[in-house]
Amino acid sequence: MQFIFSLLSVVMFLTIAISSQSHLVYFSAGYNVPTATAVLSSSQSSGLTQQTISTYSEGIVYQGGYQFAATENFLLDINFNYLPGYKDEKYYSNSNGVYWTYTNSDFSVSPTINIKFNAGNISPYTKFGISVNFISLEMNQESGGTFSNSNSNYSYKGEFTIGLVGGIGLNLLFDKTYILFLEAQLNSFTYYPKELTITSTSSNGNKITDHYYLKETASGDDEIGARAFPFNSLGFIAGVRIVL
């Protein structure tokens, strides 16, 4: 953890210190493919157990950033990444009308070091650094029929999550101002929420709210076992850089 914060401090310092060098801004979009999954639910039928396996990192991503070119081949990058995720994505249902959905998103800030290799109008590059992720995650359970419907909302909360970022890409020089780029970006982190709020609404509209702390070893009435939600992914990104 000390190494991560040291790297972040160095990157932030250098981005200020090299203000006389070349600057670039960029905008991009792409799609995240999960590289790790979790068991969201399991059900039994006719003696068989069926598991629902999914991830929380899949989907369209939008990015923007600012690059500082210390030298012709060495750049420092601050990247802003937004994963809208899914809203009310159904991942479990049964014949009794019970089903589960989840809603998720991730906003992250990633300072990275970029090293590029010039080859005419084409410049391959690699990058590595860290990500500071702010996760939003809720789950919903619906049960009952038309006249006996009930709902339970599970809202997870936690501090920011630190992850690792790496990638390879290709810059395509369009002219002296605009650069097109393609990138494969690897994101590696797991979300460990600290708190859980459960709000249950009965068919007559009555609400009951319970608050729990998630602990590795739960001992109190307001404590339950910790959970881990993987957000590991491989993103395929395309965008444009603008030389200032």
pLDDT digits (tens, 9 = 90+) for 183-215: 999 999 999 999 999 999 887 778 899 999 999
57-101 pLDDT, tens digit each: 889 999 999 999 988 889 999 999 999 999 988 877 777 778 888
SS3 category, 4: helix
Q: What does the CA dihedral 175, 178, 180, 183 come to, rounded to 10 degrees?
A: 130
Looking at residue 192, what is its pLDDT? 92
Angular region, 60: left φ>0, alpha ψ -120 to 50, beta rest: beta
- Is the predicted pLDDT of residue 127 greater than 90, yes or no? yes
Segment (H or E) for 11: helix 2-17
The domain limits of the chain are: 2-40+55-231
pLDDT of residue 89: 84
pTM: 0.82
Topology at the third CATH level for domain 2-40+55-231: Porin (2.40.160)
> Tell me: the pLDDT tens digits for 19-57?
445 899 999 999 999 887 776 665 555 555 566 666 788
